[in-house]
Amino acid sequence: MARTLRFDIFRYNPQDAGSVPHMQRFNLDENPNMTLFIALNRLREEQDPGLKFDFCCRAGICGACAIVINGRPGLACQTKTKDLPDDITLMPLPVFKMLGDLTVDTGVWFREMYQKTESWVHTKKVFDPNAEEERMDNAVAEQIYELERCIECGCCVAACGTARLRSDFMGAAALNRIARFVVDPRDQRSDKEYFDVIGNDYGIFGCMGLLACEDVCPKGLPLQNQLGFLRRKMGITALKQIFKRG
């Protein structure tokens, strides 16, 4: 028999001075293979056209539908209601700028992050459009691809205790981004140049190792291993610099 799901959804409109943050209860009959994305669309179509939430691809690729589902950040389109209890609480992602109900602005955060991490291949080589593309070792290419799979949903940042405490912390998404360029042989940045970006408490040394980023990442990125790798690498870079000075 189909369940009736009870949704408690966060409602707030920061643009309306009279709006007060509150939870609103909705009931909805469960369909087979229902995802939270489908449930939210049905709620909007059938019960409240003013309900705000983000979505785009419906396939776990765009990262737009990330919300906090019963306390855990995750993607609405990848979460099936059959895996959840009858009572489902939906909240917007913390840390990011609230736009309304379940919608937050992750775009500004990620743009700032890309600027901070200088998220592009740094090279002095002049591009020759007629030259054959340089070959890359397949294992390295796969390693880069593995880290490139980040869909910028913001779940890792929302789940990060340090990011909750300190808005200037770069978070796992940014550190993973740097790790991606460290691996890339085309990027000519030295370890010291990477250190200048993340070798501080805003970057890798701010990480307290709570690992919620790893545990909630909807794409299963190897964040724990990257954070450990970067801490060792940046720690050793700092030691080398101290001895060089001496």
Partner 1 sequence: MSIDAIMPVPRYSARDAFLDWLQMLTGAGLIAFMWSHMILVSSVILGAGAMNALAGFFEATYMAQVGGPLIGCAFLLHFVLAARKIPFRADGQQTILAHAKMLHHKDTWLWVVQAVTAMIILIMGSIHMWVVLTDLPITAAKSAARIQGGWWLVFYLILLPMVEMHVSIGFYRIGVKWGFIKTGNRAKSKRLELGLFSIFMVIGLITLIRFVTLAA
Give the contact letters, 216-235, x = binds to partner 1 (CB under 8 A), - = no: ------x-xx-xxx-xx-xx
Q: Quick check: 241 binds partner 1 (CB under 8 A)?
A: yes
- What's at 101, amino acid-wise? D
Rounded least distance, CB 223 to partner 1, Å: 9
DSSP helix/strand/coil, 165? helix
Q: 86 to 105, contacts with partner 1 by CB under 8 A?
A: 91, 94
Q: Which is nearer to partner 1, 88 or 159 (CB)?
A: 159
Under a CB-based contact definition with an 8 Å cutoff, are residues 7 and 43 in contact?
yes
Q: 140 or 239, CB closer to partner 1?
A: 239
Q: Total binding residues for partner 1 by CB under 8 A?
A: 41
Distances (CA, A) of 199 to 110, 143, 175, 194, 222: 19, 22, 11, 7, 20
183 counts as binding partner 1 under rule CB under 8 A: no
> For residue 143, what is the DSSP state?
H
- Nearest distance from residue 146's CB to partner 1, in Å? 12
Tell me, what amino acid is at 96? Answer: F
Rounded Cα distance, 230 and 246, in Å: 24
Q: CA torsion sign, 57 to 214 to 39 to 84?
A: positive
Q: Which of 3, 58, 149, 192 binds partner 1 (CB under 8 A)?
A: 192
Tell me, residue by residue from 200 to 219, as one string, x for binding to partner 1 by CB under 8 A and - for no binding: xx---xxxxxxxx-xx----
Nearer to partner 1, 121 or 236 (CB): 236
Among 63, 92, 100, 199, binds partner 1 (CB under 8 A): 199
- Whether residue 90 contacts residue 9, with contact meaning beta carbons closer than 8 Å, is answered with yes
Instruction: Check if the beta carbon of residue 179 is closer than 8 Å to that of residue 204.
Output: no
The 8-class DSSP code of residue 186 comes to: T
Phi-psi region of 33 (alpha: psi -120 to 50; beta: other; left: phi over 0): left
- Give the CA radius of gyration of the chain: 21
What string marks each residue from 122 to 161 as x (binds partner 1 by CB under 8 A) or -? -------------------------------------x-x
Task: Give the residues lining the site for partner 1 (CB under 8 A).
Answer: 68, 71-72, 91, 94, 159, 161-162, 164-165, 192, 195-196, 199-201, 205-212, 214-215, 222, 224-225, 227-229, 231-232, 234-235, 237-239, 241-242
